[in-house]
A and B are shown apart, each in its own frame.
Chain A
Amino acid sequence: MQKTAVRLENVYKSYYLANGEEIPVLNGIDLEIKQGEFVAIMGESGCGKTTLLNVIGCLHYLSSGKYYLDGEDISGVKDDFTLAFIRNKKMGFIFQQFNLFSRFSALKNVALPALYAGTIANERQAKAKKLLNEVGLSERINHKPTELSGGQQQRVAIARALINDPEIILADEPTGALDSKSGLEVMNIFTNFRKQGRTVIMVTHTTEVARFADRIIYLRDGRVVDNDYKLKINF
């Protein structure tokens, strides 16, 4: 039986405005994602998809509820060192706008999480080169993000997400800024993650992209309304 990678129980998350007003975003989320599963999170704008992804990625503290990562309760973890360690070693983030460091070359961008992990320079360079080669950018390792196309930048971001060999890939609208061809390339890479046994949790509002996932979790008003949402229209 597959192990559980992520389990959330009755998770609430609120933001607070400067005047103290509470804005509830997640209102009792319950979900379970198995190891090696490729899950898409869908829902209308403002339903809490990105906040949910940030909670899973340990970028947000929970307001209440329980969060189990690999079966371990990490809901109460607040110290920066542990949270940074989890983000660095267990997760790999991929963003819609790539979020690369514009001053650094593709190689340095990819190697950066390994630097934070304490990997020695030679090793992280070798790893970064190998990953860039795997995403088809071996000829572009010294190019800065501004010298790369959107699709290439996203592939650099994917290589960066993989450098510390994480179990979970978190992607927020990974094809949102890409043309359909580049989007398809990225989705093919994601499909391969599943084969490698990695868990992929992807936020998207595009049904064409969501179709690549094993399962779709549908949110509305900060709650999971369908844990296995079936797309109604087939292409």
Chain B
Amino acid sequence: MSFESLLAKKTRTFLSMLGIIIGVATVIAVFAVGQGAQESVNSQFQNLSANSIMVMSNMGRGMTSSSKLKASDALLLKEADHISSVTGAIQGNASVSYGSVDKSYSLIGVDNNFLDISNLQIEKGKGIEEIDVEDKEMVAVIGSTAASDLFAEIDPIGEIISVGGKKVEVVGVLKKLGSRIGMISVDEGIIIPYTSAEKSILGTKGQVMITLTVDNVDNTGLATSSITSILREEHGLKLTQEDDFRIMDAGSMVAAAQESAKTMTALLTAIAAITLLVSGIGIMNVMFVTVAERTKEIGIAKAIGGKQSDVLLQFLLESLILSMVGGFIGMGIGQLAIPIISHFNLLAVTSSWQGPIIGFTFSVLVGIFFGFYPAYKASRLDPVDALRSE
């Protein structure tokens, strides 16, 4: 009976389901984005050990002068308390060409410790050595993706590539990492000595990043204080001046990134909840109109022996069918959207089992909650008054 009633008004049925469809699809998308963000955070920091500290130049708001942080500050920080190793790097983007291939890559200027500290392994050739740094050699170790992009089948070792217009010899290729180090995708990176990067390619435009390892994770606070005082002295900052660098330890970076992923999920969940709420009100509205239109039918049903509970059930079932069918369609659209979003790299999304279950459960609850009042009103109509209506 309920199906027939809904099919009699197809357009209205579809429009009232639309809100639920969008709501459930949004819930699924929210969970996919949330899960994707979480995994993206985990992947970004997977190569960062818990006792890592990063120092970067501060380009935040309120800075009146440019940062004096240099990759060579890494040498000074070897003397900081509780530091077991340190490496300096400078990063930027550079146009890289070889033969007919011309592409923009992350350029990372490093010292000879960088590969070890960052747990990067050489697939072929050799790494950046101390002498390369000292002599500002134009040599490069390239990421696996960059290697396959530029050279395809050719062995890159010994080949000369053009980086930012300068000739650089490829001396090594990294093993595929599959994840990022901080914000750098090493697989798509070109690694050269920082001295060469500063002198010949990036100049002062590069973002400096010094990575330090603390001897014990409990000493992170002490090490941070020591780094701060050394760098402030080196940069000649007065007491009233703010730091021109920022220090991030791995633990708080992961926590902050996870926090922002959670905030995004919470925000999207709120949007989904509002969508479902609005769609619920839409269903309620439609059910009220339906009850008003079918008042006479309610009268007939009661005259031929329909109980209040029969009428209540009939209308409640209709709103439940609306929301369940809408929920199913929404689930389908949501699940279809995930691979599409993923394919076009619009957002980091990962399919999750919670999305469809929570989305569908909510759609059913919305149907029951918002369908109940109109159904209850219908069931309480006086049969004679209902029969008289046209």
A residues contacting B by CB (< 8 A) are: 54, 57, 59-60, 80-81, 84-85, 87-89, 93, 95, 99-101, 103-104, 112-113, 116-117, 160-161, 164
Q: Shortest beta-carbon distance, A100 to chain B, in Å?
A: 8
| Chain B residues within 8 Å of A113, by CB | 304-305
Knowing A59-B384, A60-B384, A80-B308, the reply to whether A93 touches B8 (Cβ < 8 A) is no
**A104 CA to B297 CA, complexed, in Å:** 12
10 smallest A-B Cβ distances: which pairs? A88-B305, A84-B307, A113-B304, A116-B305, A99-B300, A80-B308, A87-B305, A59-B383, A93-B303, A113-B305
- Find out whether the CB atom of B304 lies under 8 angstroms from the CB atom of A112: yes
Give the size category of B's interface with A: 20 to 34
Bound CA span A85–B304, Å = 9
For the complex with contacts A81-B307, A113-B305, A116-B305, 12 further pairs of A-B residues with Cβ separation under 8 Å are A59-B303, A59-B387, A60-B384, A80-B308, A87-B303, A88-B305, A101-B297, A103-B4, A116-B301, A116-B304, A116-B306, A117-B305
Q: In the bound complex, how far is the Cα of B234 from the Cα of A155, in angstroms? A: 104
A103 touches B5 (CB 8 A): yes
Name the B residues within 8 Å of A99 (CB-CB). 296, 299-300, 303, 387
B1 contacts across to A, CB distance below 8 A: 104
Q: How far does the alpha carbon of A116 sit from the alpha carbon of B303 in the complex, in Å?
A: 11
Please, could you name 28 A-B residue pairs with CB atoms under 8 Å apart, sorted by A? A54-B384, A57-B303, A59-B302, A59-B384, A60-B384, A84-B305, A84-B306, A84-B307, A85-B305, A87-B302, A87-B303, A87-B305, A93-B303, A95-B303, A95-B387, A99-B296, A99-B299, A99-B300, A99-B303, A100-B300, A101-B297, A103-B8, A104-B4, A112-B304, A116-B306, A116-B307, A160-B304, A161-B304
Q: How far is the CA of A26 from the CA of B14 in the complex (A)?
A: 48
A113–B284 CA distance with the chains assembled, in angstroms: 28
Whole-angstrom CA separation of A117 from B310 in the bound complex: 11
Known: A54-B384, A59-B383. A84 touches B297 (CB 8 A): no
The smallest beta-carbon distance between B181 and chain A, in angstroms, is 66
Bound-state CA distance A203–B86 (Å) is 103
Q: A80 touching B307 by the CB < 8 A rule?
A: yes
A50 to B5, CA, bound (A): 30
Please state if A164 and B387 are interface contacts (CB–CB under 8 Å).
Answer: no
B124: min CB distance to chain A, Å: 75
Interface string of B2-22 (1 = CB under 8 A from A): 001100100000000000000
Counting chain A CB atoms within 10 Å of each CB, the highest count among B303, B306, B310, B383 belongs to: B303
Q: A164's closest neighbor in chain B, by CB?
A: B305
A111 to chain B, nearest CB (A): 11
Chain B at the A interface: mostly helix, strand, loop or mixed? helix
Chain A residues near B297 (CB-CB < 8 A): 101
- Measured in the bound complex, the distance between the Cα atoms of B304 and A57 in whole Å is 10
CA distance A99 to B384 in the complex (A): 13
A contact residues around B387 at 8 Å (CB): 59, 95, 99
A101 CA / B1 CA spacing, docked (Å)? 11
- In the complex, what residues of B have CB within 8 A of residue A87's CB? 302-305
B7 smallest CB distance to A (angstroms): 9
A residues less than 8 Å from B310 (CB atoms): 84, 116
Considering the complex, give the chain A residue whose CB is closest to the CB of B379: A80
Please give me the residue from chain A that is nearest to B386 by CB atom: A59
**Chain A residues with Cβ under 8 A from B308's Cβ?**
80, 84
How far apart are the CA atoms of A60 and B304 in the complex, in Å?
14
Contacts of A88 in B (CB 8 A): 304-306
Decide: A84 and B384 in contact? CB cutoff 8 A: no
A88 to B1, CA, bound (A): 18
A95–B296 CA distance with the chains assembled, in angstroms: 13
Complex interface: chain A residues within 8 A of B5 (CB)? 103
Chain A residues, CB < 8 A from B300:
99-101
| Closest chain A residue, CB of each to CB of B304 | A113
- Give the shortest distance, in Å, between A227 (CB) and chain B (any CB): 25
Q: Check A93 against B383 for contact (C-beta < 8 Å).
A: no
CA gap between A117 and B384 in the complex, in Å? 21
Bound complex: CA A57 to CA B305 (Å): 11
Please determine whether A84 and B302 come into contact, CB atoms closer than 8 angstroms: yes
B60 to chain A, nearest CB (A): 67
Q: Which residue of chain A lies nearest to B380 when distances are taken between CB atoms in the complex?
A: A80
**B311 nearest CB across to chain A (Å):** 10
Per-position binary interface string of chain B over residues 295-328, scored 1 when its CB falls under 8 Å from any chain A CB and 0 otherwise: 0110111111111101000000000000000000
Q: In the complex, A37→B154 CA distance in Å?
A: 107
- Cβ B304 vs Cβ A93 within 8 A: yes
B residues near A81, Cβ cutoff 8 Å? 307
CA distance A160 to B306 in the complex (A): 13
